[in-house]
């Protein structure tokens, strides 16, 4: 993989503390985790579903369902699996629930260690100057830091905010899902104590606008957002955010596979129901279920499910759950059996039915949680106040440490430049000697 | 730092390209330094964002490889596979002679790369000889994904202001906002014709003139050729031209060659051949076989056949299927285009 090279890239000021660049940190976090056996199996299952969803999703352009029948052939399945396994989302952004928790803890611990060190330096600098640090009058206690769990609560508030941006800037749910995915991916490996979520949430939204071809000028973007920071602030942060996303900007969402399943289920109904009137009624019902399941999906977009399951799995889970709840269970069961029985071995942990159930329960819980906006705000407010007191001083422009680090950096650059000049001079001197001699 | 750059090899609208070496491996690479957009008003250029987005996902022998991306001093750098030349340079090099197997080989590699994009639901939207790069080993690779985007979602409108003019398909010229892989196939058809003619096939001098140029060469499509054409946003009364048989221009091409070319340049977008179907076309199964990449004309450095009579060799080896005998003669010749 193309890791490594960026490690040597000049780290942003402050990151050098603790000696961990973003990528190295990510690698360390992942390598310390248990081997992802369950995830590998689920990934295979995901690929199988994705293959079908992909084939079905393009059926309207191909004018038939050639893709779905092709997916029943093992060789074809193999090919599709390899294809979907190429996506960076599946290769680098799929984790089990345990892994997610461990990554968050680890990322938090790394940040806390770095901040402890930085705060000590800041206080030492102030002591040397005979002043006290206005931000850090006393050393921080262990409970003064934002914990990994508190971070998820705080982030939730900003994720919901992206939904408000959607109404202001009039973008679609896919773009919203991309922005949320960027934000969640970024804070999986980074701490709010080092990267201000108020800025990062705007960066993620603006980046999603670029990625999903709904580009607008940054000043127009900032003008539309209440209390937006200066565009300069966003520009400074943009590179760091993209770097934190590993430069992997293609995100896949369940909306499209859901449409694919909808089309494929219609085709499947036609093969199972021969009475025209019954077929008509069933198709109509299916269309309603499609709309219904789309809103059920909405909660999942804002949850860890996006790391745990493939978009196609989430789509199928929501669709089948909606069907089961609205008297369409028999048809749904027949559909999944016809389409997936031959790849049953690919669904671990109790098979497809169990997976659908897990996703369905998660979706219902998440969609219900999404409805109580006020609670999110009330929970986030005290954490925001807490956050203001434990941010990494190495990254705050007003601190002595920040100035010190910048001076050190400038010095290093200067040393490098004079070193280069000296080398060149030596070369020319040597050349002169040769010419003179 | 990941790369040491040595010399500038190109300048694009949003990036400078340098020849460089990866410090860790010593591998020769093309380093694309993304220019900070005008006064950094909008941050990272949107073309760069697209290029990174898609190249990160695409891995194929006929698509340029993105080794790495990194930031240095606030600038984003793309570390790309180093490819010394491109198809445009080879077409323009009059010292080189193309045999029919050579054209077949280039087209096949280009279509393979394109099929890989299309099956991942990605449109390239800027295919032209200049963006088909050639490696030292003769492999052809699709490059420059600065205009690429995903397709297939009918709810999303796409811009019709894409693809370099000479390779722009008629539906784009008529302002279509919902289109698909057909736009890339049309461009590929134009490139195929250019390989046969050694000059751009449909070289219009203005955007409006482009449509005239197309109709002059291929005839104005009737209602039967293109159902629903009048519904396109920029539809207007079209100038009427009769269709000139392809045979009159492509005198040296075999009938299989022309059949595939015609299928790629079908007016009605849904009826245009797909990349996969094109790869399965009889043209690729007839003699002569596609030239092995390392033996293609213009391959730099090692191998690379001198501009001689390989074509004759092909002719003697070829099973002279009545169909393709014409193809066995050298196709390459410059034609004045009127």
Burial class (CB within 10 angstroms; exposed 0-12, middle 13-18, buried 19+) of B231 = exposed
> How many structural domains does chain A have?
2
In a domain, A389, yes or no: no
Predicted confidence band of residue A17 (pLDDT cuts 50, 70, 90):
very low
Which residue, of A251, A278, A310, is where some domain finishes?
Answer: A251
Which residue, of A313, A343, A370, is where some domain finishes?
Answer: A370
Enumerate the residues of chain A whose CB falls inside 8 A of the CB of residue B73: 10
B72 and A9: CB-CB below 8 Å? yes
Nearest to A8 among B1, B50, B74 (CB): B1
B43 and A5: CB-CB below 8 Å? no
Of B276, B120, B119, the residue nearest B188 (C-alpha): B276
In a domain, A18, yes or no: no
CB B190 within 8 A of CB B202: yes
Nearest to B56 among A58, A217, A247 (CB): A247
pLDDT value for B4: 76
Q: A430 — contact with chain B (CB < 8 Å)?
A: no
Q: Spot the catalytic one: B102, B126, B184, B327.
A: B126
- Together in a domain, A269 and A246: no
Enumerate the residues of chain B whose CB falls inside 8 A of the CB of residue A218: 41-43
In a domain, A9, yes or no: no
Q: What share of chain B is helix, strand, coil (3-state, %, to 5)?
A: 35, 15, 50
pLDDT value for B157: 84
Which phi and psi angles does B156 have, rounded to 5°? -105, 130
pLDDT value for B193: 96
Give the integer Cα–Cα distance in Å for A107 and A189: 6
- Together in a domain, A199 and A276: no
Task: Tell me the per-residue pLDDT of A291-345, one tens digit each, with 9 for 90 and over.
Answer: 999 989 988 999 999 999 999 999 999 999 999 999 898 889 889 888 887 776 6
Question: Could you write out the three-class secondary structure of B278-337?
Answer: HHCCHHHCCCCCCCCHHHCCCCCCCCCCCCCCHHHHHHHHCCCCHHHCHHHCCCCCCCCC
Any alpha helices (H) in A134-217, and if so which ranges?
148-169, 173-189, 197-211
In a domain, A109, yes or no: no
Percentage with pLDDT > 70 across chain A: 79
* Token digits of residue A339: 């389409």
Of B286, B11, B297, the residue nearest B140 (C-alpha): B297
CB B166 within 8 A of CB B135: no
Task: Tell me the per-residue pLDDT of A381-403, one tens digit each, with 9 for 90 and over.
Answer: 999 999 988 999 888 888 889 88
Of B3, B21, B297, B17, the residue nearest B144 (C-alpha): B17
Q: Give A227 or A267, the one with higher predicted confidence.
A: A267
Nearest-Cα distance to chain A for B74, in Å, is 7
When scoring A21, A210, A416 by the number of chain B Cβ atoms within 10 A, the one with the most, hence best to mutate, is A210
Is the pLDDT at A228 greater than 90? The verdict is: no
Nearest-Cα distance to chain A for B154, in Å, is 10
Q: Give A75 or B233, the one with higher predicted confidence.
A: B233
The CA-based angle A168-A172-A177, given to 5 degrees, is 100
pLDDT value for B75: 82
Q: Give B330 or A197, the one with higher predicted confidence.
A: A197
Within 10 angstroms of residue A133's Cβ, the number of other Cβ atoms is 19
Nearest to B24 among A5, A218, A231 (CB): A5
Tell me if residue B57 falls in helix, strand or coil: helix
Give the integer Cα–Cα distance in Å for B191 and B168: 11
ipTM: 0.83
pLDDT value for B262: 95
Enumerate the residues of chain A whose CB falls inside 8 A of the CB of residue B24: 4-5
Nearest to A218 among B43, B56, B70 (CB): B43
Is the pLDDT at A31 greater than 60? The verdict is: no
Is the pLDDT at A208 greater than 90? The verdict is: yes
Nearest to A239 among B54, B74, B119 (CB): B74
Q: What count of CB pairs under 8 Å joins A to B?
A: 99
Is the pLDDT at A179 greater than 90? The verdict is: yes
Predicted confidence band of residue A210 (pLDDT cuts 50, 70, 90):
very high
Of A188, A138, A203, A199, the residue nearest A396 (C-alpha): A199
A9 and B71: CB-CB below 8 Å? yes
Cα A114 to the center of its chain, rounded Å:
23
Burial class (CB within 10 angstroms; exposed 0-12, middle 13-18, buried 19+) of B72 = middle
Enumerate the residues of chain B whose CB falls inside 8 A of the CB of residue A87: 57
Give the integer Cα–Cα distance in Å for B235 and B213: 16
- Together in a domain, A240 and A261: no
Nearest-Cα distance to chain B for A186, in Å, is 16
B70 and A174: CB-CB below 8 Å? no
Nearest CA in chain A to B156: A172
pLDDT value for A68: 35
Q: Give A295 or A373, the one with higher predicted confidence.
A: A295
pLDDT value for A52: 42
pLDDT value for A383: 93
Catalytic-residue membership of B126: yes
Nearest to B52 among A83, A234, A247 (CB): A247
| DSSP character string of A289-358 | HHHHHHHHHHHHHTSTHHHHS-HHHHHHHHHHHHHHHTT-HHHHHHHHHHHHGGGGGG-TTTHHHHHHHH
Q: What is the mean pLDDT of residues A77-89?
A: 66
Enumerate the residues of chain A whose CB falls inside 8 A of the CB of residue B74: 239
Task: Give domain limits for chain B.
Answer: 3-81, 86-328
- Conformational region of residue A225, where left means phi above 0, alpha means psi within -120 to 50, and beta covers everything else: beta
In a domain, A82, yes or no: no
In a domain, A83, yes or no: no
Can you list the residues of chain B whose pLDDT is less than 50?
1, 301-338
Task: Tell me the per-residue pLDDT of A130-172, one tens digit each, with 9 for 90 and over.
Answer: 888 888 888 888 889 999 999 999 999 999 999 999 999 999 9
Q: A309 — contact with chain B (CB < 8 Å)?
A: no
How far lies A395's CA from each of A115, A232, A306, A368, in Å?
Answer: 10, 16, 30, 37
- Together in a domain, A275 and A287: yes
Q: Is domain B86-328 in CATH 1.20.1050.10, yes or no?
A: no
Q: A220 — contact with chain B (CB < 8 Å)?
A: no
- Locate tokens 């299309």: which residue? B118
- Together in a domain, A270 and A353: yes
Which residue, of A199, A223, A251, is where some domain finishes?
Answer: A251
B41 and A217: CB-CB below 8 Å? yes
Percentage with pLDDT > 90 across chain A: 43
In a domain, A207, yes or no: yes
- Together in a domain, A365 and A270: yes
Eight-class DSSP state of A148: H
- Together in a domain, A220 and A268: no
In a domain, A387, yes or no: no
Domain at B3-81, CATH class:
alpha beta
Annotated binding site of B for ATP: 9-17, 32
- Together in a domain, A211 and A272: no
Nearest-Cα distance to chain B for A2, in Å, is 5
A235 and B54: CB-CB below 8 Å? no
Nearest CA in chain A to B274: A62
Predicted confidence band of residue A437 (pLDDT cuts 50, 70, 90):
low
B43 and A206: CB-CB below 8 Å? yes
Of A129, A114, A113, A99, the residue nearest A29 (C-alpha): A99
What is the gyration radius of the CA atoms in chain A, in angstroms? 26
Nearest-Cα distance to chain B for A340, in Å, is 22
Tell me if residue A135 falls in helix, strand or coil: coil
Task: For residue A364, give every residue at least 6 positions away whose Cβ sits within 8 Å of its Cβ, in sequence order, or none.
Answer: A296, A299, A321
pLDDT value for A109: 94
Enumerate the residues of chain B whose CB falls inside 8 A of the CB of residue A6: 2, 68-71
Enumerate the residues of chain A whose CB falls inside 8 A of the CB of residue B54: 250
Q: What is the mean pLDDT of residues A416-426?
A: 88
Domain enclosing residue A192, as ranges = 146-251
Tell me if residue A278 falls in helix, strand or coil: helix
Predicted confidence band of residue A67 (pLDDT cuts 50, 70, 90):
very low
Enumerate the residues of chain B whose CB falls inside 8 A of the CB of residue A249: 49, 52-53, 56
Give the integer Cα–Cα distance in Å for A224 and A169: 7
Q: A404 — contact with chain B (CB < 8 Å)?
A: no
């Amino acid at each position: 993989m193309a890791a490594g090279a960026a490690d040597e890239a000049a780290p942003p000021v402050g990151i050098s503390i603790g000696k961990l660049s973003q990528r190295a940190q990510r690698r360390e976090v992942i390598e310390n985790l248990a081997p992802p056996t369950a995830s590998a199996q689920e990934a295979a299952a995901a690929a199988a579903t994705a293959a079908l969803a992909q084939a079905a999703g393009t059926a309207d352009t191909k004018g038939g369902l050639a893709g779905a029948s092709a997916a029943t052939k093992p060789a074809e399945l193999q090919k599709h699996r390899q294809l979907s396994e190429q996506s960076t989302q599946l290769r680098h952004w799929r984790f089990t629930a345990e892994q997610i928790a461990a990554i968050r803890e680890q990322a938090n611990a790394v940040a806390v260690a770095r901040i402890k060190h930085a705060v000590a330096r800041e206080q030492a600098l102030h002591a040397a100057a005979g002043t006290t640090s206005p931000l850090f009058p006393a050393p921080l206690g262990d409970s003064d830091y934002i914990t990994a769990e508190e971070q998820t609560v705080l982030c939730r508030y900003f994720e919901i905010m992206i939904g408000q941006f959607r109404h202001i800037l009039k973008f679609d749910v896919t773009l919203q899902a991309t922005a949320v995915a960027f934000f969640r991916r970024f804070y999986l490996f980074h701490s709010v104590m080092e990267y201000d979520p108020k800025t990062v949430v705007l960066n993620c939204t603006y980046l999603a606008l670029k990625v999903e071809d709904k580009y607008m000028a940054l000043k127009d973007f900032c003008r539309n957002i209440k209390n937006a920071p200066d565009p300069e602030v966003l520009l400074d942060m943009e590179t760091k955010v993209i770097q934190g996303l590993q430069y992997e900007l293609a995100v896949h969402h369940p909306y499209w596979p859901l449409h694919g399943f909808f089309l494929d289920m219609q085709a499947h109904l036609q093969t199972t129901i021969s009475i025209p009137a019954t077929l008509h009624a069933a198709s109509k019902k299916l269309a309603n279920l499609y709309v219904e399941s789309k809103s059920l999906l909405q909660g999942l977009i804002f949850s860890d499910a996006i790391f745990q399951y493939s978009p196609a799995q989430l789509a199928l889970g929501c669709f089948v759950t909606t069907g089961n709840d609205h008297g369409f269970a028999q048809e749904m069961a027949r559909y999944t059996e016809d389409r997936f029985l031959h790849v049953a071995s690919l669904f671990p942990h109790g098979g497809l039915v169990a997976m659908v159930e897990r996703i369905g329960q998660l979706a219902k819980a998440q969609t219900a949680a999404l409805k109580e906006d006020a609670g999110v705000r009330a929970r986030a407010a005290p954490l925001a106040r807490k956050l203001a007191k434990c941010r990494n001083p190495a990254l705050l422009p007003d601190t002595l440490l920040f100035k010190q680090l910048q001076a050190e950096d400038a010095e290093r650059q200067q040393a490098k430049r004079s070193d280069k000049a000296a080398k060149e001079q030596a070369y020319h001197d040597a050349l002169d000697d040769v010419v003179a001699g | 730092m990941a790369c040491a750059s040595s010399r500038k090899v190109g300048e694009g609208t949003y990036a400078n390209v340098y020849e460089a070496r990866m410090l860790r491996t010593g591998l020769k690479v093309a380093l694309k330094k993304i220019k900070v957009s005008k006064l950094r008003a909008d941050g990272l250029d949107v073309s760069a964002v697209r290029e990174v987005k898609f190249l990160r996902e695409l891995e194929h022998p006929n698509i340029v490889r993105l080794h790495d991306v990194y930031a240095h001093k606030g600038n984003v750098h793309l570390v790309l596979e180093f490819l010394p030349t491109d198809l445009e340079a080879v077409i323009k090099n009059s010292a080189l002679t193309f045999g029919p197997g050579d054209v077949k080989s280039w087209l096949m590699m280009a279509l393979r790369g394109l099929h890989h994009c299309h099956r991942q639901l990605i449109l390239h939207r800027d295919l032209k000889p200049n963006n088909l790069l050639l490696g030292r080993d003769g492999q052809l690779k699709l490059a420059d994904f600065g205009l690429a985007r995903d397709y297939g979602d009918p709810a999303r409108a796409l811009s019709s202001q894409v693809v370099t003019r000479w390779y722009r398909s008629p539906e784009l010229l008529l302002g279509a906002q919902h289109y698909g892989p057909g736009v890339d196939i049309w461009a590929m058809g134009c490139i195929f014709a250019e390989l046969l003619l050694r000059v751009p096939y449909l070289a219009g001098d203005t955007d409006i003139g482009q449509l005239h140029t197309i109709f002059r060469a291929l005839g104005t499509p009737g209602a039967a050729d293109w159902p629903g054409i009048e519904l396109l946003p920029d539809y207007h009364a079209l100038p009427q031209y009769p269709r000139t048989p392809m045979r009159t221009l492509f005198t040296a091409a075999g009938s299989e060659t022309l059949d595939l070319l015609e299928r790629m340049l079908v007016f009605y977008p849904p009826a245009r051949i797909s990349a996969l179907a094109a790869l399965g076309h009889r043209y690729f199964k007839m003699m002569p076989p596609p030239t092995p990449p390392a033996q293609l004309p213009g391959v730099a450095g090692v191998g690379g056949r001198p501009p001689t009579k390989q074509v004759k060799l092909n002719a003697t080896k070829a099973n002279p299927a009545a169909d393709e005998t014409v193809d066995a003669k050298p196709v390459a010749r410059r034609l004045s285009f009127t």
